[in-house]
């Protein structure tokens, strides 16, 4: 399991909870020493235009430092997907998050849809055709759903319970790649009051077992939400430990 990370993600680029000081650091500190870290380069505009309209890209450009960090976030998701299609699972430790970004709009602390860009790029390159996207964030990824709503070969699922995740993957046994929008705000000590830390390990095992059985081990995850810094790093590590336990 590789972890995609760049020092730019430590910076406080905005005033929202996803950009809070220390949020990335608390995750990094939990993962350091256990996983190999690799560094992304920023996405280029042609990558963004795979899923976003030019007017939206231009709007985010006007945001200065936000645009710069968002390019690296998209680039981090791209690198994680590239690693995954080579059979080396990866987790993109990135921000801003992305699953609320649609083709020409964004909200919920998101600017560009990182996971959608990464998936669309691999499909354009021809490395994969069918992709299953599992979103385990507390909030529905309306941007991801909107972007792929007319793409039958890309299936999107938002977690409502762990059994539902297993059912979603069971009907996607012919997919070439599994992508996970990994939000952690569903935790019992975060905004959602639902999942335990151990549940993230279980989710990781389910995803990895499916990918290794049906997809040649091709899967990756990108960070979305999760805001309680006291438990956030532990929850991320629990997910990655589950990825490795299958």
The residue among 43, 33, 122 whose CA lies nearest residue 86 is 122
CA gap 187, 228 in Å, rounded: 9
Give every CB contact of residue 121 below 8 A, 6+ residues apart in sequence: 47, 50, 78, 81
| 139 tagged catalytic | no
Catalytic pick from 6, 52, 99, 100?
A: 100
Question: Taking phi first (over 0 means left), then psi (-120 to 50 degrees means alpha), and beta for anything else, what does residue 90 get?
Answer: beta
CA gap 225, 110 in Å, rounded: 10
Q: Which residues are catalytic?
A: 100
């Amino acid at each position: 399991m590789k972890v995609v990370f760049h020092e730019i993600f430590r910076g406080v680029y905005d005033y929202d909870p996803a950009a809070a000081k220390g949020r990335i650091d608390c995750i990094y500190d939990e993962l350091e020493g256990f996983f190999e870290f690799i560094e992304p380069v920023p996405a280029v505009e042609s990558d963004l235009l795979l899923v976003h309209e030019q007017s939206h890209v231009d709007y985010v450009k006007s945001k200065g430092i936000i645009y710069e960090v968002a390019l690296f976030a998209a680039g981090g998701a791209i690198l994680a997907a590239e690693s995954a299609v080579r059979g080396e699972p990866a987790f993109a430790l990135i921000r801003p998050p992305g699953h609320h970004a649609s083709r020409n709009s964004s909200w919920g602390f998101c600017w560009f849809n990182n996971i959608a860009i990464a998936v669309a790029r691999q499909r354009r390159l021809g490395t994969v055709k069918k992709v299953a996207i599992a979103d385990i964030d507390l909030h529905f990824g309306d941007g991801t759903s909107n972007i792929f709503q007319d793409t039958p070969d890309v299936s999107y699922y938002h977690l409502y319970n762990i059994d539902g995740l297993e059912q979603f993957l069971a009907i996607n046994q012919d997919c070439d790649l599994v992508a996970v929008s990994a939000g952690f705000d569903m935790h019992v000590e975060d905004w959602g009051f639902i999942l335990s830390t151990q549940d993230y390990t279980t989710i990781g095992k389910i995803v990895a077992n499916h990918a290794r059985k049906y997809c040649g081990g091709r899967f990756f995850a990108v960070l979305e939400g999760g805001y309680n810094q006291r438990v956030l790093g532990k929850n991320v590590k629990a997910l990655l430990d589950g990825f490795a336990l299958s």
